Chain A
């Protein structure tokens, strides 16, 4: 177990260290850390600290958040197709962002601008609805009901998103389309710091979950028989995974595919034990998204690809290969 942990840890740390060194332009490391030049004039330092480091950090945060949320949703809903998008939290985050863009909401809080704030509020709103539904459905213990409710909520919020896009002027519609493609180029540290707050709360929840998830993913009755407080664990799982999703989407936009493919990739490597799958997904998800973003910003340099396109184009075939190599 230690070996697996350190392998995934090394992968994530390596990605974090190497990725900022590569980009569409060449920078000199000596110049980056040259203290004798004022920062305002040091273009190498600005490329490193303003353009690259924030996006590597946000890729790490978004990648690990979405991946772990995917693991938790898949176990909670006992469905391999579950992802951070499944319960409508992403759709809520998208709706918040699209409303802020379309109606030119103009406020900021501690250096974080309106769009990510509105996006996170949207995800919390969606979480509120899902949570209320999960409390109501307690009479019967059917994850199918929660799943259907999530799919319905996603469709509903998605329709509202399209309605807002439809009635907006096309310059705004264009901006919303761009947002929906996802982008990690945050160019500042404040949004990352802000996203870290709910993300930390989410990870605090995740730490308590491995054993419960192992048992719940088999069946909630047998989990209860083995002494798991199923109701409470499911709520912690639901809230933590939703918080992580909301934080990730409000920071990077709806980066597709990470939350569904990384958990399965990791399970193919480590097996199904959540004590391994959870941390390994966090680390591998970070490395995976850093890698995809690196491709996104260098493949067609100096023009960039939206990172959400790269995750699916790279992740899809890789996943298919793993899947069919085994079978």
Chain B
């Protein structure tokens, strides 16, 4: 539990999960969100039994979202290796890195003597190699929002932290449902969710299509995805398509340290090139910065909350 609370402390400003675990951060979240979870959940987590003898003690996680899950359910002290893409919680910076999706370093991985390796289910060669070494695997698959808490539950059960994982999963589902309920009656603005674009111009605009956890989060937060009819995770938007789809709101995601806050205004003004788009006309272009939007892990609640506040500021006064 020590690991869990320190995980939480690092992101005191990042609301929910933090708020639930450490008392100091709890109040602002609850005040802002009267529907937020009860103290019972924290109690449940605090009573979680320590791992049994047959539970894995040395886990390597090659998937950033499962790394976050392991830390969030109190298994962070058992994580002995992470991927090159892991940046949260901050403790992972001290953990050895063993490559990523396309370039796992098997030698380095084996040298960590793991007794469980979380891999992408598509890493076939890696699975074969680890299997040959007789090390158990947890294959990670991910399609949409519902899969996230599902993964959390099954991973928790696999590492002997079932109770904490179930509690956290339930908590996340309740929070998402609460956000959904809060905006359910409100008109749903047609929203374009931009996940990538060339800096300083409207080129190579890459948007979330009608499939995947970002699409689900957007719909949960009370937006109508303008690309809902396109069954793919990302869609390359031409300028013509931006003009004809005419979104009422544009949410543009920027990750981690990729943008200085001083430049946010300049980047927002880039959209003035298409003045007939209702979102541009009414000034409803929002640039959200944070890596909770790229990692389908416990922080999706924060992501959903930020979407909802951008889409329906009136519901969060």
Contact = CB atoms under 8 A, between A and B. Distances in A.
Residue with the highest number of chain B CB atoms closer than 10 Å, among A39, A105, A174, A191 = A174
Given A51-B239, A179-B204, A101 B198 contact: yes
A104 B196 CA distance: 12
Interface residues of A, number: 42
Interface stretch (A9-17, A40-48, A220-228, A318-326): A40-48
Interface in A169-199: 169-172, 174-175, 178-179, 183, 185-188, 191
B199 A302 contact: no
B316 interface: no
A101 B200 CA distance: 11
Contacts of B275: 39-40, 46
A115 interface: yes
A236 interface: no
A170 B100 CA distance: 10
A175 B275 CA distance: 25
B121 interface: no
B206 interface: yes
Contact of B236 (A25, A55, A101, A303): A303
A59 to B, nearest CB: 13
A50 B260 CA distance: 28
A233 interface: no
A25 B204 contact: no
A166 B102 CA distance: 9
Interface string A95-109: 000001100111010
A40 B206 contact: no
B258 A187 contact: no
A185 B198 contact: no
Residue with the highest number of chain A CB atoms closer than 10 Å, among B200, B238, B246, B255 = B238
Contact of B244 (A39, A41, A297, A302): A302
Contact of B103 (A39, A46, A166): A166
Contacts of B2: none
B240 interface: yes
A188 B201 contact: yes
B243 interface: yes
Residue with the highest number of chain A CB atoms closer than 10 Å, among B100, B199, B202, B240 = B240
Q: Which secondary structure dominates chain B's binding surface?
A: loop
A40 B276 contact: yes
Contacts of B100: 170
Contact of B258 (A104, A115, A183): A104
B238 A51 contact: yes
Contact of B199 (A46, A113, A191): A113
Given A46-B276, A174-B196, A175-B198, A183 B203 contact: yes
Contacts of B246: 43
A187 B199 contact: no
A169 B256 CA distance: 11
Contacts of A169: 85, 255-256
Interface residues of B, number: 37
A302 B273 contact: no
Contacts of B101: 170
B135 interface: no
A231 interface: no
Contacts of B244: 24-25, 43, 47, 302
A108 B200 contact: yes
Contacts of B230: 303
A264 interface: no
B22 interface: no
A178 B274 contact: no
Nearest to A117: B200
A114 interface: yes
B200 A185 contact: no
B157 interface: no
Interface of B: 85, 100-101, 103, 195-196, 198-204, 206, 230, 235-236, 238-244, 246, 255-256, 258-260, 263, 273-276, 281, 294
Closest 6 pairs (CB-CB, A-B): A113-B200, A51-B240, A51-B239, A40-B275, A187-B239, A187-B202
11 contacts: A46-B243, A47-B240, A100-B199, A101-B199, A106-B199, A114-B199, A187-B239, A187-B274, A297-B238, A303-B230, A304-B236
Given A40-B276, A115-B198, A175-B198, 8 more contacts: A24-B240, A43-B243, A47-B244, A113-B200, A172-B258, A186-B201, A187-B201, A302-B244
